Structure formats: C-alpha cells, structure tokens
Amino acid sequence: MDIPGIDAIARRLAESVPPALRTLQQDLESNFRAVLRASLGKLDLVTREEFDTQTKVLQRTRERLAELEARLQALEGAGSSSAH
C-alpha cells in the first residue's frame, strides 16, 4: 500500500527523536515507514481514486433508479386508468 504522506510522517517522527539519537535517524525513519505501511496495510482502505469512481457509479445508479421508478409509476397509472 503506497499512501502519500507516509514518508512525511515517518520523517517527522524521526526528526522528533532527541539529537543524541539522530545518528540513527535513517534507520528510525525506515523502521517508522515500515511500521506505518504494515499497520495501514491491515486496514480496509481504498484510494481516493477508487472512492471517487464508486461515488460516480452510485450517483448514476441512483439517477437510473429514479428514472425507472418514474416509468413504473407512469405505467401503473396508465394501467389503473384503463381498468376503469
């Protein structure tokens, strides 16, 4: 899982380490990055692109459902008026 910002978060975490431990900064940053990716990878997340795509599909589905409901009402109305 490649989530934008993981590198920035890992870098900020590594920079928050006391100066005496800064020599370990690269190792810490790599470890933080690995832990973040592993932890976030376990979550059931979708990318923004996937979310936006599904939002568009849902919108089209809702529009189509509204059209079909209107047609059904018109057909039911025509059927009940011809039955009289």
Task: Write out pLDDT tens, residues 36-57.
Answer: 888 887 888 888 899 999 999 9
pLDDT, averaged across the chain: 83
Sign (positive or negative) of CA dihedral 17, 20, 24, 26: positive
Is the model's pTM score more than 0.75?
no
Distance CA(7)–CA(26), nearest Å, equals 12
12-to-15, 16, 36 alpha-carbon distances in Å: 5, 6, 13
